[in-house]
Amino acid sequence: MLSKLLMRSQPCRLCSFRKRLSAPKYRPFLAFFTCTTDSQSKKENKKTVEKLFKLSVDIRKIRRLKGWVLLEDETYVEEIANILQQLGASETAVASILERCPEAIICSPTAVNTQRELWQLVCKNEEKLVKLIEQFPESFFTVKDQENRKLNIQFFQELGLKNVVISRFLTTASNIFHNPIEKNKQMIKILQESYLNLGGSEANMKVWLLKLLSQNPFILLNSSAAIKETLEFFQKQGFTNFEILQLLSKLKGFLFQLCPRSIQNSMSFSKNAFKCTDHDLKQLVLKCPALLYYSVPVLEERIQGLLKEGISIAQIRETPMVLELTPQIVQYRIRKLNSLGYGIKDGHLANINGTKKEFEANFGKIQAKKGRPLFNPVAPLNVEE
**Is position 10 within any domain?**
no
The reported pLDDT for the residue numbered 6 is 45
Q: How many residues are listed for the chain in this entry?
A: 385
Q: Looking at 121, 143, 165, which one is the last position of a domain?
A: 143
Closest CA to 142 of 162, 99, 97, 112: 112
d(CA 357, CA 344): 19
The residue among 276, 249, 196, 239 whose CA lies nearest residue 263 is: 239
Summarize pLDDT for 81-91 with one digit per residue, the tens: 999 999 999 99
162 assigned to some structural domain: no
Cα–Cα dist 201/207, whole Å: 11
Domain count, the chain: 2
- For the cut 70, the answer to whether the pLDDT of residue 292 exceeds it is yes
Assign 42 a pLDDT band (cuts: 50, 70, 90): low
Please say which residue of 143, 169, 204 terminates a domain: 143
In whole angstroms, how far apart are CA 124 and each of 91, 145, 150?
22, 21, 15
CATH of the domain at 272: 1.25.70.10
Residue finishing a domain among 143, 168, 187? 143
**Nearest of 282, 274, 276, 280 to residue 299 by alpha carbon:** 274
Is the residue at 285 inside a domain?
A: yes
Percent of the chain with pLDDT over 70: 85
CA distances from 327 to 265, 309, 332 (A): 21, 10, 9
pTM score, two decimals?
A: 0.75
Write phi, then psi, for 161 (nearest 5 degrees). Answer: -70, 140
Q: What are phi and psi of 298, to 5 degrees?
A: -65, -45
Rounded distance between C-alpha atoms, residue 364 and residue 248, angstroms = 34
In the predicted structure, residue 50 carries a pLDDT above the cut 90: yes
Kindly state the DSSP code that residue 379 receives in the 8-state scheme: S
Band (pLDDT 50/70/90 cuts) for residue 340 is confident
| Contact yes or no for 262/295 (Cβ under 8 A) | yes
| Mean pLDDT score of the chain | 85
Q: Is residue 288 part of a domain?
A: yes
Query: Is 151 within the bounds of a domain?
Result: no
Flag whether 299 is in a domain.
yes
Concatenated DSSP letters for 19-39?
Answer: HHHSPPTHHHHHHHHHTT-HH
Q: What's the CA angle centered on 193, arms 187 and 196, to 5 degrees? A: 145
Q: Are 88 and 130 in contact (CB under 8 A)?
A: yes
* Among 147-151, 223-227, 257-261, 375-379, the least confident range: 375-379
Max distance between CA atoms of the chain, in angstroms, equals 102
Mean pLDDT of 107-122: 96
Give 64-98 as a DSSP string. HHHGGGGG-S---HHHHHHHHHHTT--HHHHHHHH
Cα dihedral value 103, 109, 113, 115, nearest 10: -30
**So what's the pLDDT on residue 369?**
79
Q: Which domain holds residue 346?
A: 259-370
User: What digits encode the pLDDT tens for the residues 191-214?
Assistant: 999 999 999 999 999 999 999 999
In this prediction, residue 163 has a pLDDT band, given cuts at 50, 70 and 90, of very high
Residues 273-309 as b/e (b if ≥16 CB within 10 A, e otherwise) read bbebeeeebbebbeebbbbbbbeeeebeebbebbeeb
Task: Look at residue 132 and tell me whether its pLDDT is greater than 50.
Answer: yes
| CA 166/CA 291 separation, integer angstroms | 31
pLDDT at position 364 is 87
In a domain, 139, yes or no: yes
The arithmetic mean of pLDDT across residues 32-56, rounded, is 71
Amino acid 371: pLDDT: 65
Report pLDDT digits (tens) over 228-252: 899 999 999 999 999 999 998 888 8
**What is the Cα–Cα distance from 225 to 99, expressed in whole angstroms?**
42
**pLDDT tens digits along 311-323:** 999 999 999 999 9
Contact criterion met (CB below 8 Å) for 65 and 102: yes
Task: Report the distance separating Cα 350 and Cα 284, nearest Å.
Answer: 15
Residue 14 included in any domain? no
The mean pLDDT value for 36-54 works out to 76
Mean pLDDT of 94-102: 96
Question: Residue 346 and residue 351: Cα distance in Å, rounded?
Answer: 12
**Predicted confidence band of residue 139 (pLDDT cuts 50, 70, 90):** very high
Per-residue H/E/C for 280-328: HHHHHHHHCCHHHHCCHHHHHHHHHHHHHCCCCHHHHHHCHHHHHCCHH
